[in-house]
Amino acid sequence: MVQEPQSFHEFMPDKVWKWKILEEKVEKVLSLHDFQEIRLSVLQDSQVLQDGITALIQGQEADTAMKGVLSLSLPDDQLSLLSLRPEGTISVLHHTARITNPGEIHRFYYSGPMFRRINNQQQMEFYQLGVELLGSESILSENEVISLGMKLCKTLGLNEVRLDLNSYGCFTCRESFFSDLNKYLEEHKSEYCNSCYRELSTNPFSQVHCANPDCKKSLQEGPHIYDYLCNSCKTDFNKVQKIQANLGNQYKVNPNLNKNFAYYNKTVFDFIAKHKGKEIIIGGGGRYDYLSALITGKRIPAVGFYLNLDSIFEIMESRGLFEEKDPEFTVYICAESPNLEMMTLQIVQELHSQQIKTIISPECRPAEKEIAIAKKKDCPIMLILRDDNIREGKILLRNLVKEEQKYISLRDTLPSIMLAKKAMQS
Annotated binding-site members for L-histidine: 87-89, 116, 128, 132, 263-264
Distance in angstroms (rounded) separating the CA atoms of residues 12 and 314: 15
Q: Enumerate the known binding-site residues.
A: 87-89, 116, 128, 132, 263-264
Q: Which residues of 411-421 are buried (b: 16+ CB within 10 A; e: fewer)?
A: eebeebbeebb
Beta pairing class for 394-399 and 381-385? antiparallel
Distance in angstroms (rounded) separating the CA atoms of residues 369 and 384: 12
Residue of 329, 273, 315, 328 lying closest to 22 (CA atoms): 315
State the sign of the Cα–Cα–Cα–Cα dihedral 43, 75, 116, 190.
negative
Distance in angstroms (rounded) separating the CA atoms of residues 155 and 30: 11
Element (H, E) at 278: strand 278-287
Burial of residue 327, with CB atoms counted within 10 A of its CB: 0-12 exposed, 13-18 middle, 19 or more buried: exposed
- Taking a C-beta distance cutoff of 8 angstroms, is the pair 154, 316 a contact? no
User: Which residue type is seen at 49?
Assistant: L
Element (H, E) at 93: helix 89-99
Query: Alpha-carbon dihedral of residues 110, 115, 116, 122, nearest 10 degrees?
Result: 150
